Structure 1
Amino acid sequence: MQLQPTDTSAADAKNQIQEYKDTLIINAAAELFYKRGFKSATLDDIAASIGVTKPFIYKRFKSKHELLERLFDKVFSGLYEAVSQCEQLEDQDPVRRFEFFIDTYTRRKIELSTFSVILLEEEKSLSPEKISDIRSKYHGFDALVTRLIVKGVEAGVFQVGNPKVTAFAISGMVQWTHRWYQPNGKLSIEALCEEMTQMALRLVGWTGAYVLPEPLAPHR
């Protein structure tokens, strides 16, 4: 006997297919925005790069501007989801959580270097509302770092006069890594993450010995 899919599973499958198509289009758009610039890349170019027609894209996105904004939404959402896991770790040691955040944030910023370039070059192409939304998302990152630092100060392991200013300094340090890091250079991503984590620990006044942490499982 062949089982028939339930309505729920059918809906889930449909959503997954839709998400796959959207991601395919967004990734293709990101590649062309990076190589040619937002103004020069056309929807015809994006469609041709993945072997579809322009109407295929219009079924999912109203315009090229919506594609650009959805790209930002998708990247910021994934990035924040990754780094915010530090607050759900089973290990509640504030040092371990802080290390997890810096290591993950640095690694993802390098992996998203293409997006970072697009953000710098094409922010002018965004609506005022989307620019305000991006600023708000960055404030979310700063607030997360501040919380981690405050927890360390309260535990007596971090020595910081102004946690918020220190958080701004650390966020800026990580955010600009993509401008100078060379993936094919002598410094591996793992080595860079270790260096950045140690520097961040010094900024928060951690005086203990740094030990490269084992991957920690988020608390479920």
Structure 2
Amino acid sequence: MATGGAADAAADRRLPAVARGDGLAAIMRSAREIFAERGYHAASIRDIAKGAGLSLSALYYYYAGKQELLHALLEDALADCFRSCEQALDAAGDDPVARLGAFVQATVEYRVRRPVDSLLGLREIRNLEPERLEQFVERRDALPRLLGEIIGDGVARGVFGTPYPDEAQRAILAMCNAVAQWYQPSGDLTVTDLVDRYVYLSLTLVQHLPPARKAPSHA
């Protein structure tokens, strides 16, 4: 007669599996909530499965364990952030001012839309195994490089006057990323207002130099 863990495993195998798309979404939701509430080390793979409405064996069908699940969560959030930025930049064209504004808007809106994922990326990245951590950091660092290219292009074209483009890039990205830590949608500040202010502050940091206006002609 099966006892303890063996009995649990046998019971798990008798539970019905969930459709693939629904199962994956349920696992991600449950893992996100439990990692955010308890942290990676205190999170239980059994509780994640339970929160998803799945058996352990069904969860293991999708992910080999807690480490793979954390990596999948972080990668999913990062991919969504990049998609948002790329779409905004495609619409902005090649003007550095427009591109900087589009980058800031996309990043701020993403942090507002996915605050839990944003905070997990900050707090739990240290719990990735070395190889996974290296892969994730390499992909994540493409975001500051992209912002750096926008600022560098603006400096080269003479529309940004900052003598410190690297520091401006770090300051803008840190400012946008921190939104997930403090912004409350229920507060008085709307997302549109927040974006407008952050675009203004970002243009100030890069010392945006608007085109000189021509002096009015005298009749």
TM-score bracket, shorter-length normalisation: 0.7 to 0.9
- Correspondence 1:149 to 2:148: no
Contact 1:146 1:167 in 2 (8 A): yes
TM-score by length of 1: 0.78
Letter in 2 for 1:203: L
Find 1:26's aligned residue among 25, 28, 44: 28
Q: Deviations over 1:167-198 (max 9, x none)?
A: 12211121122222223222122211111111
The offset of 1:97, in angstroms, is: 1.5
Alignment match, 1:89: 91
CA distance in 2, matches of 1:174, 1:194: 12
Instruction: Report the equivalent of 1:57.
Output: 59
In structure 2, the residue matched to 1:196 is: 198
Paired position in structure 2 for 1:171: 173
2:76 paired with 1:74? yes
SS where residue 89 of structure 1 aligns?
helix
Aligned to 1:14: none
- Structure 1 residues not aligned, in runs of 5+: 1-16, 210-220
Shift of residue 77, structure 1, vs aligned partner: 1.2
How far has the Cα of 1:114 moved from its partner?
Answer: 0.8
Deviation at 1:48, TM superposition (A): 1.9
Distance 2:205 2:77 in 1: 28
Structure 2 SS opposite 1:59: helix
Say what the alpha-carbon RMSD is for the aligned residues: 2.1
DSSP 3-state at the match of 2:141: helix
* Bigger-Rg structure (1/2): 2
Contact 1:84 1:144 in 2 (8 A): no
- Is the partner of 2:122 in helix, strand or coil? helix
Secondary structure of the residue that 2:124 maps to in structure 1?
A: helix
Find the aligned partners of 1:152 and 1:19 in 2 and give their Cα distance.
43
Structure 1: 4+ residue segments shifted above 6 A: none
Matches within 5 A, 1:105-124: 105-124=107-126
Structure with the bigger RCO (C-alpha within 8 Å, sep 6+) is 1
Q: Compute the TM-score of the two structures, normalised by the length of structure 2.
A: 0.79
Q: 1:169 to 1:90 in 2, by over 3 A?
A: closer
Deviates more, 1:157-166 or 1:140-149: 157-166
Cα distance between partner residues in 2 of 1:170 and 1:104: 13
Q: Percent identity among equivalent residues? A: 26
Aligned residue identity for 2:57: P
CA shift, 1:140, in A, is 0.7
Give the paired residue count: 193
